[in-house]
């Protein structure tokens, strides 16, 4: 274990046991379904969950740490369930919202998939989660004989990753707003996470699920989680593979192979994909000049940006901007 890195074991199906462990080891206070920790040594940690039906749990975790922490996620292999984690890192204020959006992610996995996640110091992080037993799935979504229905019934460990489309980004923004209201919190958390589940099902029904990977070791997942955050931390600068190879202590071929196994794309292709998706989000959801978007995201010039944008989305950014301006339902 790295120097000064604290490890916390969690039980995904039993938040109470995790709460008691954090209370014992780190001095957190626990009030029913709510855990709070705030001190100079460890920083801030705030966790809350609700159990709506037996083993069907939704929750939210906020943290800003003074020491690095590794979360060790254990699983209950006796019961089949699906977990969804959706969230972002960065400060959750309107001034820095555009920065936090770069780290948005959607993770889905089953009860056999173990993984660890490292959380750095001095970074505000929030994620929302849903844990749902497989036998409850058809109570909330339409489950034809499609990719998702087949996936959730598999016994082998599987993991699915995707970036956030505007509809999912909108859900996060709504959750960020309503989660502060104790009266609205419980109902909004459940309804929005079920909405995420339905969007996932719609993707599966219409296009299948391409980003599914099987049997990934938890250490490899931990590595690519950190690598992904490194790559997307600054979309203005193309990742330097030589720097990454040195930082992660492995050959370029092994680094690329491990990364591609989870994210289905080589590192630079993955970066360019997310840079263009962020460009599209800013074109639709902000009033920034297109030249400013191009500059801030590291494109050579507006012509270069426009060509790359057209090659991915089939229209120039000016056309996207006009469509979003004409659409009263566009979320800004």
Q: What is the pLDDT of residues 180-190, one digit of tens each?
A: 899 999 999 99
| Domain boundaries of the chain, sorted by first residue | 6-215, 219-326
**What are the residues facing 74 on neighbouring strands?**
11
pLDDT more than 70, % of the chain: 91
Average pLDDT, the chain: 86
Q: What is the pLDDT of residue 101?
A: 42
Tokens of 303: 């012509």
First to last CA, the chain: 43
Cα–Cα distance measured from residue 325 to residue 332, given in angstroms and rounded to the nearest whole number: 10
Is the pLDDT higher at 252 or at 87? Answer: 252
Per-residue pLDDT, averaged over 123-135, amounts to 92
Burial of 207 (0-12, 13-18, 19+ CB in 10 A): exposed
Could you tell me the pLDDT band of residue 330, with boundaries at 50, 70 and 90? low
Cα–Cα distance measured from residue 55 to residue 87, given in angstroms and rounded to the nearest whole number: 22
Per-residue pLDDT, averaged over 97-102, amounts to 41
Q: What is the pLDDT of residue 297?
A: 94
Task: Report the range out of 39-48, 219-228, 319-328 with the highest average pLDDT.
Answer: 39-48
Residue 47 has pLDDT above 50, yes or no: yes
Cα–Cα distance measured from residue 147 to residue 243, given in angstroms and rounded to the nearest whole number: 38
Residue 110 has pLDDT above 50, yes or no: yes
Could you tell me the pLDDT band of residue 242, with boundaries at 50, 70 and 90? very high
Residue 96 has pLDDT above 80, yes or no: no
Cα dihedral 283→289→291→292 (10° resolution): -90
Cα–Cα distance measured from residue 248 to residue 228, given in angstroms and rounded to the nearest whole number: 12
Per-residue pLDDT, averaged over 241-257, amounts to 94
Per-residue pLDDT, averaged over 295-324, amounts to 93
Residue 74 has pLDDT above 60, yes or no: yes
DSSP letter at 314 equals S
Q: What is the pLDDT of residue 90?
A: 45
The fourth-level CATH superfamily of domain 219-326 is Homeodomain-like (1.10.10.60)
Per-residue pLDDT, averaged over 128-134, amounts to 94
The structure's pTM equals 0.82
CA angle at 229 for the pair 50 and 236, rounded to the nearest 5°: 130
Q: Which of 121, 85, 125, 70 is nearest to 103 (CA)?
A: 125
- DSSP state string for 125-144: EEEEEEEEEGGGGGGTS---
Residue 102 has pLDDT above 70, yes or no: no
Yes or no: say if 240 and 278 are a contact pair by the CB < 8 Å rule.
no
Which three-class secondary structure state does DSSP give residue 213?
strand
Q: What is the pLDDT of residues 136-190, one digit of tens each?
A: 998 998 888 788 989 999 989 999 988 777 788 889 989 999 998 999 999 999 9
Yes or no: say if 102 and 232 are a contact pair by the CB < 8 Å rule.
yes
């Amino acid at each position: 274990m790295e120097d000064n890195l604290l490890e916390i074991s969690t039980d995904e199906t039993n938040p109470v046991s995790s709460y008691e462990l954090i209370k014992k080891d780190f001095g957190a206070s626990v009030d029913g379904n709510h855990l709070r920790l705030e001190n100079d040594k460890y920083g801030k940690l705030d966790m809350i969950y609700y159990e709506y039906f037996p083993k069907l749990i939704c929750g939210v975790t906020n943290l800003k740490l003074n020491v690095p922490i590794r979360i060790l996620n254990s699983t209950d292999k006796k019961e089949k369930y699906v977990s969804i984690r959706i969230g972002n890192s960065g400060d959750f204020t309107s001034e820095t919202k555009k920065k936090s959006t770069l780290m948005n992610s959607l993770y889905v996995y089953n009860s056999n998939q173990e993984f660890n996640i490292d959380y750095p110091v001095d970074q505000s992080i929030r994620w929302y989660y849903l844990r749902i037993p497989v036998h409850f799935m058809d109570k909330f979504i339409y489950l034809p004989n499609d990719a998702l229905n087949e996936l959730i019934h598999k016994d082998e460990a599987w993991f699915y990753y995707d970036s956030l489309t505007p509809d999912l980004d909108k859900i996060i923004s709504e959750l960020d707003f309503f989660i502060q209201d104790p009266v609205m919190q419980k109902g909004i958390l459940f309804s929005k996470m079920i909405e995420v589940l339905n969007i996932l099902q719609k993707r599966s029904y219409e296009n299948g699920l391409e980003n599914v990977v099987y049997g990934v070791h938890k250490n490899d997942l931990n590595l690519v989680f950190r690598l992904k955050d490194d790559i997307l931390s600054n979309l203005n600068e193309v990742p330097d593979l030589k720097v990454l190879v040195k930082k992660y202590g492995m050959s370029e071929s092994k680094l690329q192979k491990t990364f591609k196994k989870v994210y289905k794309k080589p590192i630079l292709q993955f970066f360019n994909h997310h840079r263009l998706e962020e460009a599209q989000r800013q074109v639709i959801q902000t009033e920034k000049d297109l030249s400013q978007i191009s500059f801030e995201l590291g494109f050579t010039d507006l012509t270069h940006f426009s060509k790359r944008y057209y090659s991915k989305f089939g229209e120039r950014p000016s056309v996207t901007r006009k469509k979003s301006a004409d659409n009263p339902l566009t979320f800004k």
